[in-house]
Structure formats: C-alpha cells, structure tokens
C-alpha cells in the first residue's frame, strides 16, 4: 500500500466482502501511510451516507515510485544511448519496475559509470544505497562490454531489488516496537529432535543492523536463528525475506508456522 491507493467504501460488511457493484457509498484515496494505520482523504465520500462503522476495500494500487539511476559524467553519448534504450524496453513491459534516469546523484539508488582497462572503456553499475554498500559490496555486476540484452537483464534485476528495498518501513516508532535478534543455536541434533529442541547460546549477534558472523569450517552443524519480539499491543504476522546484494536476489526465509500472531 502506498500514497494514492484507492479504496471503495461500504456501509455494510457483507456487501463489502462480496464487493457488490454500485453498492459503495464513495471512494477514498490514501494520503498518508504508516506502519499500523493510514489516513484516507475524505474528498470522494458523501458524509451524509457515513453512519457508524464503514468498510474499505482496495480497488486500485497507488502509483509506483521508480528508483533513480544516476549517470556519471564519465559516461559518453554512446553509453547513455544504450542505457536509455534499455530503460525504454523495461518501461514497455506491463507491471515491470524500471529506473528513472537522472543526472543528480542525490537520492539515486544506482550509478552507471565507466572504467578503462586494456580492452577499452566499459560500463559499470554501482549501488549507492547505504543499506547495500555498508556490507562491503558496491559493484552490481561483473564488468563487461554490455549489449542491450545484458543491460536489460541487469537493470531489470537492479530496479526490482532497489524498489522492494525502498518498501522498507522507516518509521522510527515502528522500529522501536519490533526487536530483531540473531543468535547461534545449539541442540536439536538427536535422532528424534526437531528444530524446537534448539536453544540460543551467547549474545545477540545483530549490532547496528549488521551481523559480524565468523564461519567455523570445522562446525558442519552450526545453526543460527532469528528471534522477532513484538513489543506493541497489535498482532504481528512476520514474513521474512533475504535481500542478497551479491546477486540482487530476494528470497523468502522459511520460518516456523505459528497458529497465532506474535
């Protein structure tokens, strides 16, 4: 959900669930979105029809904000033409995320630059997002003499990755209500044990959003676990995704299914 998301408003819950056409009392658009509540503008609703509790059903998503691609001054006319043609191809695909090409570094997620080696000048793409570069990886793709097909695949993945990364909730109040902890685990290795038999050892390894993990090659059965602590008075249904900045992949973590929220 984002600013601009449209909702149909119903006065009856049963009608809202069935989404009966012509039964809505108006349409409202989200003007502010936060972690646990959102504000809807009242301009599209006849308030005389609003009596007691109303029910909102989303009918249209808000506009997609494209991440920005900054073009360095070192990129020549031919390189810019390649990038522009590639972005045009991506924009022509329905429901796909592309980049907005900009020439101001501020607010950009990715930079296109050039390097020169023994084979000539080549385009390179670098992440500018601190959430990615703080972990030591900046170059998005191996350097190569990119063609349209190569650039389209690269920029498609980079745009999708940074767009999803930008969906993160930055609301400081929300972050204070949810604790994320990362521990080494022991136990659970017996023939009749399950993951529930594992227990945490040591301190929380997550410090300032970074886990300094030392891999012990002699411990083939080392296990680690994420603990999510909900300190709010609202139910939380966790879905955990891993953003791998080495290959721009996003994968869903398998977590123990709960019969209730946390």
Q: Beta 68-71 vs 110-117: how paired, if at all? A: parallel
pLDDT at 257 over 60: no
Among 138, 165, 192, where does a domain finish? 165
One domain for residues 85 and 156: yes
37: containing domain: 6-60
Q: Six-digit token pair at 127?
A: 């992440």
Q: Is 260 helix (H, G, I), strand (E, B) or coil?
A: coil
User: pLDDT category, 69, cuts 50, 70, 90?
Assistant: very high
User: pLDDT category, 259, cuts 50, 70, 90?
Assistant: low
DSSP summary character for residue 250: E
pTM: 0.73
CATH number, domain containing residue 119: 3.30.160
Among 125, 140, 165, where does a domain finish? 165
One domain for residues 79 and 158: yes
In a domain, residue 15? The reply is yes
The order of strands in the sheet holding 68-71 is: 100-102, 68-71, 110-117, 120-127
In a domain, residue 229? The reply is yes
What is the secondary structure of 121-169 as a DSSP string?
Answer: EEEEEEE--HHHHTTT--B-S--B---HHHHHHHHHHHHHHHHHHTTS-
Domain count, the chain: 3
In a domain, residue 97? The reply is yes
Comparing CA positions, the residue from 239, 245, 36, 32 lying closest to residue 141 is: 245
State how far the alpha carbon of 35 is from the alpha carbons of 46, 55, 76, 232, in Å. 28, 19, 43, 12
pLDDT tens track for 81-96: 989 988 988 888 877 8
One domain for residues 207 and 119: no
Residue 88 main-chain phi, psi, to 5 deg: -60, -40
One domain for residues 51 and 73: no
pLDDT tens track for 196-220: 778 888 899 998 878 887 777 776 6
Contacts of 173 (CB under 8 A, 6+ apart): 35
One domain for residues 156 and 184: no
């Amino acid at each position: 959900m984002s600013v601009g998301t449209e909702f149909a408003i119903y006065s009856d819950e049963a009608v809202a669930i069935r989404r009966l056409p012509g039964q809505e009392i108006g349409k409202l658009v989200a003007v502010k979105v936060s972690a646990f509540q959102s504000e809807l503008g009242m301009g599209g609703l006849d308030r005389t029809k609003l009596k007691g509790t109303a029910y909102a059903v989303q009918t249209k998503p808000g506009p997609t904000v494209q991440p920005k691609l900054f073009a360095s001054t070192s990129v020549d006319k031919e390189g810019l033409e390649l990038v522009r043609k590639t972005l045009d191809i991506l924009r022509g695909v329905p429901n796909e995320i592309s980049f907005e090409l900009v020439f101001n570094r501020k607010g950009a997620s990715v930079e296109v630059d050039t390097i020169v080696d023994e084979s000539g000048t080549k385009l390179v793409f670098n992440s500018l997002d601190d959430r990615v570069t703080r972990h030591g990886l900046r170059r998005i793709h191996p350097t190569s003499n990119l063609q349209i097909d190569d650039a389209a695949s690269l920029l498609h993945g980079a745009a999708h990755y940074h767009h999803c990364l930008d969906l993160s909730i930055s609301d400081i109040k929300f972050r204070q209500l949810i604790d994320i902890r990362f521990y080494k685990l022991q136990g659970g290795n017996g023939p009749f044990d399950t993951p529930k038999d594992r227990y945490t050892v040591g301190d929380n390894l997550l410090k300032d959003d970074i886990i300094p993990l030392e891999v012990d090659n002699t411990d083939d059965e080392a296990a680690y676990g994420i603990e999510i602590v909900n300190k709010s008075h609202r139910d939380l249904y966790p879905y955990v995704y891993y953003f791998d900045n080495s290959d721009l992949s996003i994968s869903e973590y398998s977590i123990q299914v709960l019969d209730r929220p946390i």
